[in-house]
Amino acid sequence: MARSVYLTSVGSGGGKSTIALGLAELLSRQVGRIGVFRPLVADTGQDPILALLSERYRVEMPLSELAGASYAEASALVADGRREQLISAIVERYRAVERQCPAVVVVGSDFDEPGDPAHPRELA
């Protein structure tokens, strides 16, 4: 079984949250504890799907540790030409969750506008 599952879509409103709930439910039946993670969020303490998954599956980490970076943090780093620092920070935060959980559901960003740090052209 894979240790992590990364969900993404072509834009917001594509059903990632629903699929994340289903995958988390399936994984929770296979391992003792699951983790959840979002690489980019609007606000590191206020992401609804992270809050729901964290509460439902008793993730024992603060919500702020289940996100890689806020949109504002990511935008500032990209604007300063520090994309690599942004990517490193997101990966480091993900690894911290992964070390504590046998399986992790990673829910991709909802930001899909050009110019957003989550946009593939911006991270390339």
Decide if pLDDT at 114 tops 60: no
Domain architecture of the chain: domains with CATH: 9-123 (3.40.50.300)
The confidence score (pLDDT) of residue 38 equals 94
Indicate the pLDDT class of residue 13, thresholds 50, 70 and 90: confident
Instruction: Convert the pLDDT of each residue in 14-47 to its tens digit.
Output: 788 899 999 999 999 999 889 999 999 987 667 8
Decide if pLDDT at 95 tops 60: yes
pLDDT higher at 99 or 113: 99
Decide if pLDDT at 115 tops 80: no
Global confidence as pTM? 0.83
Q: Which amino acid is at 53?
A: L
- Report whether 42 contacts 71 (CB < 8 A): yes
Decide if pLDDT at 124 tops 70: no
DSSP 109: -
CA distance linking residue 45 with residue 72, whole number of Å: 13
Instruction: Convert the pLDDT of each residue in 48-86 to its tens digit.
Output: 899 999 999 999 999 989 999 998 999 999 999 999 999
Q: Which amino acid is at 25?
A: E
